[in-house]
A and B are shown apart, each in its own frame.
Chain A
Amino acid sequence: MSPDPPSSAFSTTGRCRKGEPWVWLTAAGLAIGIVMALGLFLLILVKGTESFWPHRIDLMEVVQGDRIEKIAGFVTQESQRKETDGTVHEEIQVFRGNKDLNGESFKYIDRAAIKATTRPESILLIERLEYGLAIVFPVALETPGGRLEASSGEFEPALEKLLEQGETARKKLLVIERKKIGAISLELEALGRAEKADSVAPDVAKARRAELQTSFDQLQAEAVAIRGKLAESSFMGTAADGTEVTYPAGNLLHVFASNRVGFVGRVGETLHRMWNFLSEDPREANTEGGVFPAIFGTVVMTLVMSLFVTPFGVIAAIYLREYAKQGIFVRMVRISVNNLAGVPSIVFGVFGLAFFVYTVGAGVDQWLFADKLPTPTYGTPGIFWASLTLALLTLPVVIVATEEALSAVPRGVREAALACGASKWQAIQRVVLPASLPGILTGVILAMARGAGEVAPLMLVGVVKLAPSLPIDDIAPFIHPERKFMHLGFHIYDLGFQSPDAEAAKPIVYATALLLILVVVSLNLTAILIRNRLKKRFAVSSF
């Protein structure tokens, strides 16, 4: 008989080995964090992309008292409403568009009241310049060449052609009204100032003014002609309840037969809508159109902010860590810098407004733009002051990260540089800084993430609901740091809480939030790529 196997000298079983609960606890902490972050991101991702998907349009017959009302639209939300007597109604929120006819784009319908639902193939989803989406049955096109019934085979190609013509005409109008007429009024303004300052002879000014007036009139006439051409043709249709509608062809942006197009076509439509969202200017109190100016403003502001915060933060940290005599004073400075990170961001906004805008900006105006006063140039909120304010806000992040990075450089490397006859500054500049660059960039990345997502201070120092022009464009001097700008974060707040039609704006809010996240992530990814390349170049010895 063989003896029992010897029992192991180590205890290997037991549900709760020493220290194990702590591992679980820390893992749980991480898991909760990941779940929360992922959940938020997924919600925004799903809702944000869903808002671009073209829904099928239902034609519903709804019992309203003793008559039957026809409503066309798509369901956006389902909910339950409890009456005081305890009965529960299933209610659906339907998007039916046609704000010009109905006053509101949304209607709440009791599910029990719906008698029948059909999906008519001919119904169209029409994007318009005004009043948002329209959902109508086409009837005819009225063109100078005659009337074209919707049943005829030439209807659709003709409509397509009209849309194309409308787009080119609108582009022309934009060039005429924004650029050419804008340039004329700019020159007129300058002429007025020159006259006031007596730097131009009155008769010369008069002649020039007349010239400008003629070209202004010409442009105006051109614009009127184009507009007239746009109004020549019109689209006629009937709404679901039978109301006849007529839209000037120039007001139509895009037509989509949602119930007729297959899956591939709808994916194409989704991409088309996404592209419009990214590339177009907002319309209709921002609830329609795209968010391009907001993307542009966010990116430019964040980059300018990094441009300012990085050198200042790095220089301050170098002095604090390398040159300042470590003592009570430096420790207090360090504590203050850390506390600065905890100051509510709106306080920075107030400071930025009071100091940058009203003090520095007003001073700049007095000094450089005195001829334009009392109209302020820099003495008013703008993207430059917003960037500076956020640079101040994110300064502690960069200082702390740089100090950490500097102190992580091994002493041996510094000593080696000094032993080679380098001065302290040479050692810092040639050896210590390159070695700590990845750490410094980590700080800049954190600062960018913080700055890009900040909204509250921006409201005071330069963000607006709708900026007519971008801070960088093709009008000399091309870069306009004094201009107000749009920002994705503020756009979310504005659409979600300040919009006249909050329901209609909801999908855009999700899409904008998703976009803001993507912008921040891509800015960060760029910085991380740069950091990794530098890490490879300046890797510190692993010994």
Chain B
Amino acid sequence: MSSSAPAPVPAARPDFIEVDKFSFHYGEKQAIFDIDMKIPEHQVTALIGPSGCGKSTLLRNLNRMNDLIEGVHHQGDIRIAGRSLYDPTVEVISLRKRVGMVFQKYNPFAKTIYENVIFSLRVAGRSKKSELDATVEWALRSAALWEEVKDRLHDSAFSLSGGQQQRLCIARAIANQPEILLMDEPCAALDPLATLKIEDLMLTLKEQFTIVIVTHNMEQATRCSDRTAFLYMGKLVEYGETMQIFERPAKQQTEEYISGRFS
């Protein structure tokens, strides 16, 4: 598409993200208990489970977003490509540049569409006009938004519809070429049509990025994820190929949850 697209990565690493005996506490309250899982590269991994099961907490630990909350602490480790996130020499900012994030509630900045997309480049101090222009086009094309907004890049981001705003947020998250894209219920605030667009998008994006998505929507998990992890009460109950989890769940709890017997 554009010159700034990344070079094809050699082979997908099966243990790209390693969650290693990871526990997490909000002050006194433990939210995650001793989770072990390996997330493969260039796949969509879905985290499912009832509200409060710790799936969002786990996701937000992958870019250390939870550090912002006071009184949190953890045990165990998370590694991306073999490098610990909690290594004291790791700079959180550089980590977040490698791990993009899309939130449940679309949250574009009060800036133009153009400035929204290149925000991560601006904060990284890059300001070459040609590079910014190329990035905007590439990111918006990747987020399937280019055709809709190419004539009004300098309008306010709030002039877009909800689904467009969320895709703009995706473009913003991928503009700096992260390796991993975290999505925290990206379709929760969208209508079915916009949801479908985002799901289609995930299938193309996974060729470039490793995607981890939190979702409440079982159909969504089956439609667009390769692997699914079911969490319950902060513990990883079952983790495997999406087909296997939904068709032949090994655990009773998983079956009850996906068949809607509890939520």
Chain A residues with CB under 8 Å of chain B are 326, 410, 412-413, 415-423, 426, 430-431, 434-435, 537-543
Contact = CB atoms under 8 A, between A and B. Distances in A.
A423 B123 contact: yes
Given A416-B109, A419-B101, A543 B119 contact: no
A423 B165 contact: no
Residue of A416, A537, A538 with most chain B CB atoms under a 10 A cut-off:
A416
Contact of B103 (A415, A423, A431, A539): A415
Given A420-B173, A421-B120, A540 B110 contact: yes
Given A415-B65, A417-B109, A420-B100, 10 more contacts: A415-B103, A418-B96, A419-B65, A421-B93, A421-B124, A422-B119, A423-B93, A434-B111, A539-B110, A539-B156
Given A423-B93, A541-B108, A430 B156 contact: no
B109 A413 contact: yes
A257 B99 CA distance: 85
Given A422-B119, A539-B110, A416 B94 contact: no
A421 B94 contact: yes
A91 B112 CA distance: 72
Residue of A417, A421, A426, A538 with most chain B CB atoms under a 10 A cut-off:
A421
A200 to B, nearest CB: 55
B247 to A, nearest CB: 35
24 contacts: A413-B107, A415-B65, A415-B68, A416-B101, A416-B107, A417-B119, A418-B65, A418-B68, A419-B63, A419-B65, A419-B96, A419-B103, A420-B96, A420-B100, A420-B120, A420-B173, A421-B93, A421-B120, A421-B176, A422-B93, A422-B119, A430-B122, A539-B156, A541-B106
B162 A543 contact: yes
Residue of B103, B110, B119, B176 with most chain A CB atoms under a 10 A cut-off:
B110
A540 B122 CA distance: 20
Contact of B173 (A419, A422, A435, A539): A419
Contacts of A421: 93-94, 96-97, 120, 123-124, 176
Contacts of B107: 410, 412-413, 415-416, 541
A420 B110 contact: no
A394 B122 CA distance: 36
Interface string B181-209: 00000000100000000000000000000
B172 interface: yes
A431 B96 contact: no
Given A412-B103, A420-B119, A421-B94, A538 B110 contact: yes
Contact of A430 (B96, B106, B123, B169): B123
B257 interface: no
Contacts, number: 82
Q: Give chain A's interface secondary structure class.
A: helix
A538 B65 CA distance: 25
A432 to B, nearest CB: 10
A543 B101 CA distance: 19
Contacts of B109: 413, 416-417, 430-431, 435
Nearest to A423: B93
B203 to A, nearest CB: 23
Contacts of B165: 541
B246 interface: no
A230 B100 CA distance: 84
A541 B173 contact: no
B55 to A, nearest CB: 17
A437 B146 CA distance: 31
Residue of B63, B105, B124, B189 with most chain A CB atoms under a 10 A cut-off:
B105
A320 B158 CA distance: 30
A70 to B, nearest CB: 75
Contacts of B70: 326
A423 B120 CA distance: 11
Contacts of A417: 109, 119, 123
A414 to B, nearest CB: 8
Contacts of A413: 107, 109
B158 A539 contact: yes
Residue of B94, B108, B123, B162 with most chain A CB atoms under a 10 A cut-off:
B123
A434 B124 contact: no
Interface in B101-160: 101, 103, 105-111, 119-120, 122-124, 156, 158
A543 B106 contact: yes
Contacts of B162: 543
A420 B176 contact: yes
Nearest to A410: B107
Residue of A416, A420, A423, A434 with most chain B CB atoms under a 10 A cut-off:
A420
Nearest to A425: B123
Nearest to B125: A426
B98 to A, nearest CB: 9
A320 B189 CA distance: 33
A541 to B, nearest CB: 6
A434 to B, nearest CB: 6
A543 B176 CA distance: 26
